[in-house]
Amino acid sequence: MNSPYEINLMDELTLRRVTYGRYNYANTAEFDDYDLQNPFAQGSFRWVAYGTYTGGKRSGQPYVCKWFKTGAVFSEDYFTLDPDIKAVEKAAEIVDRFNQLNILSKEIKINVPDVWTFDKDLPAILSRTYEYGETDLGPEGISSFFSNHACSKYCRPHWTAPADPVEHYRPVSSTNMIRHTVSTAKSKPI
């Protein structure tokens, strides 16, 4: 995969373990930049992209990821109130009851989702016009970057840099953020 992003299983949903639930048993997945920049579907608040499981019993199988669109707001109890998760809970009750009635000779199972989080840092993109979200520190960020930059094998000699870069932000190992107004755009899962 090109520039994969990896995510890890954070925590199982607080759903009770249903008798006829089909659980994931995977623990990591990767996504290409292209798939995250070009989701194949979307809902009102979330994007959806393909990936591939890379760990656990489902390693190598396709994976689907949903993440919030930029600007979406959720509260700490979102995952207990989310309509998708509530639908899974209700479907699990119905499937359990249906299977207890022994109407069919086979059991019906339901997929029980998991909640995952990103395990790797996402790149911060800097622009002159602050067009890449809260981690885009604009011209001051560009100047700060070049005030501490030493070219490496990844740099090209024809690339230009600011003539007299000034450190506006102290270098840190994490990502700096500033709040400014941005339009809703395709974000990446966090």
Quick: pLDDT tens for 26-80.
878 888 878 888 899 988 778 899 989 888 888 999 988 887 777 555 555 555 5
For residue 162, the tally of other CB atoms under 10 A from its CB is 13
pLDDT at 161 over 80: yes
| Residue 166 one-letter amino acid | V
pLDDT top residue among 9 and 114: 114
Burial class for 87, CB neighbours closer than 10 Å (0-12, 13-18, 19+): exposed
Q: Report pLDDT digits (tens) over 142-160.
A: 998 888 888 888 888 888 8
Domain boundaries, the chain: 5-118, 122-179
* DSSP codes joined into one string, 87-104: HHHHHHHHHHHHHHTT-S
Q: How many CB atoms lie within 10 A of CB 31?
A: 22
Question: What is the spatial distance between Cα 1 and Cα 120, in angstroms, rounded to a whole number?
Answer: 15
CA pair distance 18, 83, nearest whole angstrom: 19
Largest CA distance in the chain: 77
* Global pTM value: 0.44
Nearest Cα to Cα of residue 166 among 185, 183, 149, 179: 149
The DSSP bridge partners found for residue 15 are none
Average pLDDT of the residues in 78-88: 64
